[in-house]
């Protein structure tokens, strides 16, 4: 939040600075006057009479009502202006990239209606373009927040769609979080915004639209199709119930929180993606309590060998862009 990487976050930091400046100024003046009064009017040796008693001072009361009023109006005008500016709907702007954001317990779905592409957890965007968001939830109240780019914007449970937008000035991976207490894994409901140049973004869209890559080994492909693809989708196959897995090997993290060592965002605390996939598939509830994924071993009857084969396949399912 304090290191903004785009116009919306810069505007938000501007508001924070304005509010802090006003608050610090008020504090210094009030404490300064108080200190002056304590020293100047303290009881001096030999002073025993009761000081002059003052009740009411119209002029002073007007002043100390007017000053806060002016300060609140200044804060209010800038805040309201920014709130509306940042909630602006750019969906019909031809230069904007439209993204429909759907929050789920405990993951994020991103779909690009103009490109016919849906992904999860890594929101890939081009730099220097407005990203027009339409936000909704599939279950409970969540809130979309990318501290260095934009937010927070709630995803409502009453079916209303919230609009927001942001723009990343330069390439990079930015941490996103759910900012509304939503359940046992609220704290783990992370995602990444990956800003790339326009050419890479176009390549990514093309790679997402390519036919699905399935496991080469027929037995593994069979397990993957019958078990995994009954909830997940890859390319043109499967169902869009759980997170879309197309190109999952290129993602910054598994399940949003198991950081991939070869990723760009905070890779220093990451593990190889294949190991993260094994950790996740062997114990989804241990990684993210309360998530809706059935345990592949206990609930679906997969063997350790099958789980590892699927982890190998998913880790290799990378997109070049």
Residues near ligand CUA (CB under 6 A): 103, 106, 142, 178, 180-182, 186, 189
* Own/partner long-range contacts of 180-185 (Cβ < 8 Å, ≥24 apart): 180/141, 180/142, 180/143, 180/152, 180/154, 182/103, 182/105, 182/106, 182/140, 182/141, 182/142, 183/105, 183/106, 183/140, 183/290, 184/289, 184/290, 185/105, 185/106, 185/288, 185/289, 185/290, 185/291
Q: How far is the CB of 103 from ligand CUA (least distance, A)?
A: 6
140 vs 295, beta carbon nearer ligand CUA: 140
Q: Residue 100's beta-bridge partner residues?
A: 111, 134
In the complex, least distance from residue 186 CB atom to ligand CUA, rounded to whole angstroms: 3
> How is residue 130 written in tokens?
């407005």
Q: Nearest approach, Cβ of 190 to ligand CUA (angstroms)?
A: 10
Q: Which is nearer to ligand CUA, 181 or 241 (CB)?
A: 181
User: Which residue number, 104 or 274, has a Cβ lying nearer to ligand CUA?
Assistant: 104
Write down the least CB distance from residue 293 to ligand CUA, Å.
16
CB 9 within 8 A of CB 172: no
With respect to ligand CUA, which residue has the nearer C-beta, 173 or 178? 178
* Closest separation in Å from C-beta 33 to ligand CUA: 44
Residue 191 C-beta: closest distance to ligand CUA, Å:
10
Nearer Cβ to ligand CUA (110/201): 110
Nearest to 87, CA basis, from 8, 6, 195: 8
For ligand CUA, the closer of residues 182 and 205 by Cβ is: 182
Helix-strand-coil split of the chain, %, nearest 5 = 40, 20, 40
Min dist CB 141 to ligand CUA, Å, is 8
Under a CB-based contact definition with an 8 Å cutoff, are residues 185 and 291 in contact?
Answer: yes
User: By C-beta, is 190 or 306 nearer to ligand CUA?
Assistant: 190
What whole-number distance in Å separates Cα of residue 86 and Cα of residue 88?
5
Spell out the alpha helix ranges (H) of the chain.
Answer: 7-40, 58-86, 198-209, 218-226, 273-282, 284-287, 304-316
């Amino acid at each position: 939040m304090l290191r903004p990487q785009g116009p919306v976050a810069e505007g938000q930091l501007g508001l924070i600075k304005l509010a802090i400046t006003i608050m610090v100024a008020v504090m210094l003046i009030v404490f300064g006057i108080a200190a002056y009064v304590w020293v100047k009017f303290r009881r001096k040796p030999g002073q025993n009479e009761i000081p002059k008693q003052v009740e009411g001072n119209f002029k002073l009361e007007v002043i100390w009502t007017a000053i806060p009023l002016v300060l609140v109006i200044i804060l209010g005008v800038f805040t309201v202006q920014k709130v509306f500016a940042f909630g602006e709907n750019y969906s019909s702007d031809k230069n904007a990239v439209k993204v429909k954001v759907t929050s789920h317990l405990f993951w994020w779905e991103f779909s690009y209606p103009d490109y016919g592409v849906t992904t999860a957890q890594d929101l890939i965007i081009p730099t220097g373009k407005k990203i027009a968001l339409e936000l909704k939830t599939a279950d409970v109240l969540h809130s979309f927040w990318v501290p260095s780019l934009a937010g927070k914007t709630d995803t409502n449970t009453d079916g209303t769609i919230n609009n927001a937008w942001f723009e990343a000035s330069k390439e990079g991976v930015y941490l996103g979080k759910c900012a509304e207490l939503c359940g046992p894994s609220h704290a783990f409901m992370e995602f990444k915004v990956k800003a790339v140049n326009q050419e890479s973004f176009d390549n990514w869209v093309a790679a997402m639209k390519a036919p699905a890559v399935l496991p080469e080994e027929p037995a593994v492909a069979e397990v993957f199709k019958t078990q995994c693809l009954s909830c997940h989708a890859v390319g043109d196959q499967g169902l869009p119930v759980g997170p879309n897995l197309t190109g999952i090997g290129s993602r910054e993290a598994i399940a949003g929180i198991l950081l991939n060592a070869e990723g760009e965002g905070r890779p220093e605390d990451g593990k190889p993606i294949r190991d993260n996939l094994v950790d996740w598939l062997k114990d989804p509830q241990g990684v993210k309590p309360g998530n809706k994924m059935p345990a592949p071993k206990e609930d679906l009857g997969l063997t350790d060998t099958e789980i590892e084969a699927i982890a190998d396949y998913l880790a290799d399912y990378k997109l070049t862009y």
